[in-house]
Amino acid sequence: MTTYFDTMPSPIGRLLLTATDRGLSGVFMEQHKGGPQPEAGWVHDPTRLARARTQLERYFEGTLHEFDLPLDLQGTAFQVEVWNALRRIPFGATQSYRDLATDIGRPNAVRAVGAANGRNPVSIIVPCHRVIGADGSLTGYGGGLPRKRFLLEHEARLAQFGLTSQAAMRPATA
């Protein structure tokens, strides 16, 4: 399977976007924990990733709150289940790892949910930044806590003006 890629600037640093023929497969920040770098065989294709880039630009401008992109989430069935649950957390809202585990019907799987959250390959669009500690604290984020804080504050500012909607995308595939 061919991996296509492009990069784009953003308020949180350069983003690496990846896709397959099935859809967007990754959004990674510079120095993203566990994030890939373009590899031999990857194809630089800005046209294929133009729609994702445009939607991310609009998100950062504050004019887009619902991503409408085909996704190719590559992970275990459990990871994809968690990533799909993340997509149901409303724009401007947060949820604890425990709440997320309960939402997927596995209230005792808090650590496993945290691990799956940490392996989310499509940051921002699959909003893993919206997951916080049970006490309301910011917890780990592959892009770093300053970026997580920025994303949460960005959404909170827009939410306070009533500019919110729930993330709605096509179901992901395993």
Of residues 29, 128, 131, 151, which has the active-site annotation? 128
* Residues 6+ away with beta carbon under 8 Å from 52: 17, 19, 24, 27, 69, 125
For the question of residue 128 being annotated catalytic, the response is: yes
Among all residues, which ones are annotated catalytic? 128
